[in-house]
Amino acid sequence: MKLLMRAQLLVLMMSAVVQLRASADHPEKLENELMAHAQELFDAVAAGNQEPWKKYFADDCLFFDEKGRNFTKAELIADIQPLPNGYSGKITVGKPRSLIHGDTVILSYDVDEAETVFGQNLKARYHVTDTWLHRNDAWQIAASQVFRYYEDPAATKVAPDKLRNFVGTYELAAGQTRKVFVDRGQLTVERNGKREALFPEASDIFFRKGIEGRILFRANAQGQVDALIDRRNNEDIVWRKIQ
């Protein structure tokens, strides 16, 4: 009887090894399989279905979301809740890249989110990197990191006479200046010969395409612009207007 049990155990162990080797020998198949699991996870988000998240995340997993929050598995599962009434959405995964080494897979992919909030459509793009481990005859995510792609805000229009209020030379320190001027109707900033177009997000708040942060113009008590503020992640660098 003991010999039979040992033989059965050996067969199970060999089967697991063969499965693992087969996955390593067919990386595209394994990548597709794990991407299907990733899609299953995100399909469950809108409905608040926690089961795939319980299944595919290891009990000792590390999860870091796009806000920098660090979740345990229990915290992650608790965060999966149905969307409120009036909300709907769909999340699609794609563009995978993977690194497969034995019983470890690092899977990196894009996530496109489309959400409708009481008839208004919103979109967001994320990038996720999951580390999958093959343990106890199953693939599970041991670590996951999410970040959100930067998107430029929508530009508005500012009257030409308003743009002229921002024209001038701004100084950070001795010998460190920026010039702001209007070039063919476009507010432009120049420093050390490099020119950048400023696009209005609001009447006195501007952005540069593809660059995080904002350029703000501060007015004094008399309503005259006296500073250019380069704001990055709520940290301000103030350039005083000198002419």
Residue 17 per-residue DSSP state = H
CA atoms within a 13 Å half-sphere pointing along the CA-CB vector of 66: 10
Confidence bin at 57 (pLDDT 50/70/90): very high
pLDDT tens by residue, 75-123: 999 999 999 999 999 999 999 999 999 999 999 999 999 999 999 999 9
Alpha-carbon torsion 183, 189, 191, 194, what sign? negative
Backbone φ and ψ of 25, nearest 5°: -80, -15
CA dihedral defined by 183, 185, 191, 194, rounded to 10 degrees? Answer: -70
Alpha-carbon torsion 139, 140, 142, 144, what sign? positive
pTM of the model: 0.77
pLDDT score recorded for residue 233 = 85
CA dist 88 to 44, 78, 106, Å?
A: 12, 20, 30
Domains in the chain and their CATH numbers?
A: 2-148 (3.10.450.50), 160-241 (2.40.128.50)
pLDDT at 131 over 60: yes
Backbone φ and ψ of 204, nearest 5°: -135, 20
pLDDT at 14 over 80: no
% of the chain beyond a pLDDT of 70: 90
More confident residue, 68 or 3: 68
